[in-house]
Structure 1
Amino acid sequence: MKFRTKVVVCMISILSIIFGAGSSALILNSFNSALDREKKSAIQSYEMILNTLKVVNGVEAWADSKDISNTIKEMSTQRNTSWAGIHIYTEKNELYKDGKMKDKSGSLLESTKSKKNVDEKSCITKVIAGNDKEKYLKVSGALKVGKEKCYLDVAYDISPIYEERDKLQQIYYEVFAIMIALCGILSYSNSFIMTRPLVRLSRTSKAIAAGNISYRSRIKTKDEIGTMAREFDKMADKLENNIIELKDTMESQNQFIGNFTHELKTPMTSIIGYADLLRSQALTMDEQVEAANYIFSEGKRLERLSLKLLDIFVTENSEVKLVLVSPGKIVEQLVENLKADYLKRNIALKYNYEKGVCLLEPDLVRSLIINLMDNSRKAMTDNGHGIISVEVKMTDNGCSIIVKDNGKGMPPEALQHITEAFYRVDKSRSRKQGGAGLGLALCAKIVEVHNGDIKFESKENEGTTVTVELKGGRA
């Protein structure tokens, strides 16, 4: 059963119980009040008949029952009476009987069957049915006539109050039917308005379950349903963002695997080819040395590629412990160790640093600086002298490392992609220089470990400046 139907059934049930019980009690109370009034009026009329008989005869008791019957006859013929029937009788004889009611069987004024509770000082009342729908109130009493006890039954027509009750009940049935119909219409309309947001929310959940993750309920009511709908939309937004991020991650992984496979294919093909050449053909000493050198260089390239991938994996999947070190000393040691090697390539290394210590992971920071310097080296032109400078500044929550070169720079569109794995500005040149496009991706991971950020400023044919903010903190 739908919720709307449940609301309608519930409202109709409540209305039926309350309206039915209230109306029935009202009709019953009105009927009983009218019946009580009729009983009081009938008893008063009955007593008036007895008093009239006494006044007419002028005595406290009657000597002859015939006098009573004659008096009743005169009362019946000379004046309009309020009774519908009257019956006077003894235990042996019937003295007088008269009736204006429709009762051919005579059962209305039949003798009282039980006379134990009937005496001269009290009377009893009883509601009896006549023909069709007539109802009568019979008042029975007794009086002393000489030494003989007579019984007097007087019937009063009370059909009007039963007819009034039937009319009230008929009105009640009609009003009840109208009330039920109105209640059903109004409650269904109200439940339709109330549950319409729930229907929209259900439609939204079905749409999202079917794959339309951008579908929203857009319910703006200010009740509990509106609150639930807004929370549902927020949940759907987060779900959509998570799915989009998951898709982006999958695409990045697929691209990473494809690029990695491509990077492995070239050196492996060369290694296998030269190894097969050494194995299957007789070569001169120079050719053997050349082949061996090529195999060695490609093997070292694979080694560097594997180590960088391992470093990236470690920075993503392990907890890094930061210790107090001097970033300036790290830069000084690296530059002094690499200075001679860079001079062979006509590249001068310079450094400058502020004294101080901060929380860093030394090995990762060394890898960060080496990769930045190596990236600057690859950006140098073939002609002219290159200069790479490394500067360290202490900050409130760590340090800042600035690597600057006067190389060929990068186009603006390349700046937003250079930290992506396997991305290379000049693919052909980087491949010749042994690059795999992983250096800056590793740098970005190392900076992330230190809660920092990395910024690139570059102009073509002027050079590049890389600013790294490491925010591991200072003790």
Structure 2
Amino acid sequence: MKYRTFFTTLVLFLVTFNLGILLISFTTFKDTVDRAKEKSLGEHYLITSALLKDFHAVESRGVGVDGSFDSLLQSYSFLSGDKKVNLALYKGDQLVYSNRLETAVEQQFIEPPKDGNRLVAMRETDDRTYVIVSGKLPAPYNVYTMVYRYDTTEAITAWERMKNMLFLAGLLLSGLLACGLLLLLHRIFKPLAQISQISRKIAAGAYETRLPVSGKDELSEMAQSFNHMAEEIQSQMQQLATAAEQKQQFVDNLAHELRTPLTAIYGYAEYIQKVVRTEEDKLFATNSIMEESRRLQNIAYRLLDLATIRGNKIERREVRLLDLVRGVEQSLSMRAAEQNIKITYELRFDTLACDADLMHILLVNLIENAMKACGSGGVVRLVADRVDEQKVISVEDDGKGMTQVHLAHITEAFYRVDPSRSRAGGGAGLGLTLCQQIAVTHEAELSFSSELGRGTTVKLTFAGSA
């Protein structure tokens, strides 16, 4: 593309420039010739007019003009002092006077028209160029023909030198233009070549590759726009890679979670089928199968909840916070009593704009996790307060806490801080993932803080006044 543009532009310039030189040369040549002809016609007219008066003067003295040509025409020799002008006088077709006119004159100039018109023409003889003017003298001397020849070789030669200089200058200028144009096109097309090269690198996976940016012209703006596009592509690809990794991790974890209860179910079923056992053994195996089946059911329900929340918009309504908390307390009271865990709450605002059912699920999950972290005699505290004009609900426990490494992953699907405890308690590792999704649908932020041995605090901060 660059060289095609270069050759096309260069050819157009050369054609235009040389046509211009030809036009200038033609105009200059025509002007040179016209000036030479005008000069020749003017001097021919002056000579013939003066010669006519001389003929009258000679005849008035009673002397014939035929024998007086040399003396009469001698006075006009100054015209040929520079050897550029030659004069010839013909009587009929007979030459009666010549001033260094070595070459013969064409017959058409010897016999010009008798109507008083003069002939003027350019002729080349012996590598020289002449302007020839021929005309008859007025009556009664119209038998005489005056031929005037002006040597215009030097003017033509000067014109040729000027023409050659113009073409030489055009050649040099064309060379300079070609170099300048090539450099300009190289600068213009360099970013395009870089874009092409870097685009191939980005397509090959080198998303961090960028164009160099220098200056503040349009090319720099184009490079900045391309780099911005590359950054967006890199960001999108990273997000896609992260999403793909998370999906793969989700599938791997789901397969792992399903394997354990399915293996147990199959084992207990085979145990009942192939081995003769007592009713007590069969009851134990049946209860184990039911427990693992409930675990599978719990996983299925949690996954269904996640899918439902992601695919639908919620409708928020003003809910009395006290009613919401009492419903959560009622759902967990029996389990809290069994584990000897105390649940307390402090409410410093009255209502909350939310989906009551989803908020119930979120609070139940948060308090359940807090109860699992506590030992017997532990305390779980729910506090609803305003912080910087925002409503915040926090759930605190006095359990064993977590490290920062665990805090970074606890909202991931199937992630367990204590895998053995989660399996024993029937947890699917989806509770906090579900809570995170519920928080997002309520335009709220779910944050965690924890210290080993000092418990964990979960805060749900609502945007605006909620």
Q: TM-score, normalised by structure 2?
A: 0.89
Aligned to 2:98: 98
Give the distance between the partners of 1:289 and 1:190, measured in 2 at CA: 90
Aligned counterpart in structure 2 of residue 136 of structure 1, from 121, 130, 143 = 130
Letter in 2 for 1:403: V
CA contact (8 A) 1:127 1:138 kept: yes
- The equivalences for 1:67-86 within 5 A come to 67-68=65-66, 70-72=68-70, 75=73, 79=77, 81-82=79-80, 83-86=85-88
Deviation digits for residues 181-240 of structure 1 (CA, Å, limit 9, x no counterpart): 111112212222233222222221122122221111122332222212211111110111
Aligned equivalent of 1:264? 258
Work out whether residues 42 and 139 of structure 1, in 8 Å CA contact, stay in contact via their aligned partners in 2.
yes
Partner of 2:209: 215
The counterpart of 1:454, out of the listed 441, 446, 452, is: 446
Alpha-carbon offset, residue 322 of structure 1: 1.5
Partner of 1:280: 274
Could you say which residue in structure 2 is the equivalent of 1:386? 378
> 1:391, CA displacement in angstroms?
2.4
Deviation at 1:33, TM superposition (A): 3.9
Unaligned runs of 5+ in 1: none
1:433 aligns with 2:432: no
Tell me the SS of whatever aligns to 2:446. strand
Q: Percent identity?
A: 25
The aligned counterpart of 1:241 is: 235
Whole-angstrom distance in 1 between the partners of 2:215 and 2:327: 66
Moved more, 224-233 or 185-194: 185-194
Amino acid across the alignment from 1:110: Q
* Amino acid across the alignment from 1:451: E
The equivalent of 2:45 in structure 1 is: 47
Counterpart of 1:351 in 2: which secondary structure?
A: strand
- How far did residue 378 of structure 1 move? 1.4
Q: 1:285 offset after TM fit, Å?
A: 0.9
Alignment check: 8 A CA contact 1:61 1:146 kept: no
**Do residues 231 (structure 1) and 225 (structure 2) align?**
yes
Structure 2 equivalent of residue 14 of structure 1: 13
Residue 290 of structure 1: CA displacement?
0.3
Q: Does 1:166 align with 2:165?
A: no
AA aligned to 1:112 is: F
Give the 3 Å change call, closer, same or farther, for CA 134–352 of structure 1 in structure 2. Answer: same
Question: Helix, strand or coil for the counterpart of 2:315?
Answer: coil
Contact 1:350–1:389 (8 Å) recurs in 2:
yes
| Alignment check: 8 A CA contact 1:411 1:459 kept | yes
Matched residues in 2 for 1:109 and 1:337: separation? 134
Alpha-carbon contact 2:194-2:211 (below 8 Å) kept: yes
SS of residue paired to 1:344:
helix
Kept after mapping to 1: 8 A contact 2:327/2:360? no
Matched-pair contact (CA < 8 Å) for 2:70–2:97: no
Root mean square deviation of aligned Cα? 2.9
Map 1:74-473 onto structure 2 (within 5 A): 75=73, 79=77, 81-82=79-80, 83-90=85-92, 93-96=93-96, 98=98, 100=100, 103=103, 106=104, 108-112=105-109, 115-116=112-113, 118-119=115-116, 123-131=118-126, 133-143=127-137, 146=140, 149-381=143-375, 384-393=376-385, 399-471=391-463
What secondary structure does 2:143 align onto?
Answer: strand
Q: CA–CA distance in 1 between the matches of 2:55 and 2:464?
A: 130
Quickly say closer, same or farther: Cα 1:62–1:265, change in 2 above 3 A. Answer: farther
**Unpaired runs of at least 5, structure 2:** none
Partner of 2:2: 3
Q: CA deviation at 1:99?
A: 6.0
The normalised TM-score by structure 1 is: 0.88
Q: Is contact 1:89–1:150 with CA below 8 Å preserved after alignment?
A: yes
Please tell me the residue identity of whatever aligns with 1:309. L
Distance in 2 (CA, whole Å) between partners of 1:111 and 1:285 is 149
CA 1:300–1:78 in structure 2 vs 1: closer, same or farther (change >3 Å)?
closer
Distance 1:267 1:42, change over 3 A: same
* Displacement after TM superposition at 1:248 (Å): 0.9
**Matches of 1:425 and 1:457, distance apart in 2:** 14
Residue identity in the other structure for 1:308:
R
Distance, in Å, in 2 between the alignment partners of 1:272 and 1:182 is 89
Alignment CA distance shift 1:34-1:148 (3 Å): closer
